[in-house]
Amino acid sequence: MPSWTIYHNPKCSTSVAGLKLLMDAGIDPKVIDYMKAVPSEKQMELLIMKLGAKAEDLIRRKEPLFKERYATLRLNEHEWVRVMRENPELIERPIVVRNSKAVIGRPLELIEELIG
């Protein structure tokens, strides 16, 4: 049986819709409110690996904080991970993990594809 986790922000309508999509499919995922329980550096690196992405791909570029402090910077993987740990509001959401694969649930169809 697959193991499911959702890195969730309950204040985000897309994240709420992603969780609902999982529950409607009969999946009871482990829910991590990453705004309260910020993933460790190692957890972030593992998520990035499961996503098959770069750390920078997880950054919410429309957030005012990004535009004010980070938009002009060229950071490496480790630096982006540190930025996300220090500013979890910059982490794209929701992130849904099924065993060794993960997707950013924007658009929600990506979660549907992961469900299969």
**Positions marked catalytic:** 12
Give the CA dihedral 99, 94, 62, 90, nearest 10 degrees. -70
Whole-Å CA distances, 1 to 4, 27, 98, 99: 9, 11, 10, 9
**Measured between alpha carbons, how far is residue 34 from residues 23, 37, 56, 70 in Å?**
19, 5, 17, 21
